[in-house]
Amino acid sequence: MTFKKAFNIGYFVLLLSFIVVYFLLPVDQIFTAIMILTVLFGVYQFVIFKKLKEQKQQ
């Protein structure tokens, strides 16, 4: 799997989760949920970047 494909899948999941959060959570919890989702997306990107970099070195 290429980095671009993994990034697009992760970004699609992030957008879907934003939509779910927007409609299901109360207003006072939306900001916190969006920040947590953004951090998780960043961690996901870091992990796939490291794994794909290791695959290229082999």
How much is the mean pLDDT over the chain? 91
0.85 cut: is pTM over it? no
Q: How far is CA 6 from CA 2, 40, 48, in A?
A: 6, 14, 7
Alpha helices in the chain (DSSP H): 3-24, 27-57
**pLDDT score for 13:** 95
Digit-coded pLDDT (tens) for 10-24: 999 999 999 999 999
Phi, psi of 2 (to 5 degrees): -80, 165
Enclosing domain of residue 12: 3-57
Number of domains in the chain: 1
Q: Long-range CB contacts (< 8 A, 24+ apart) of 36-41? A: 38/14, 41/10, 41/11, 41/14
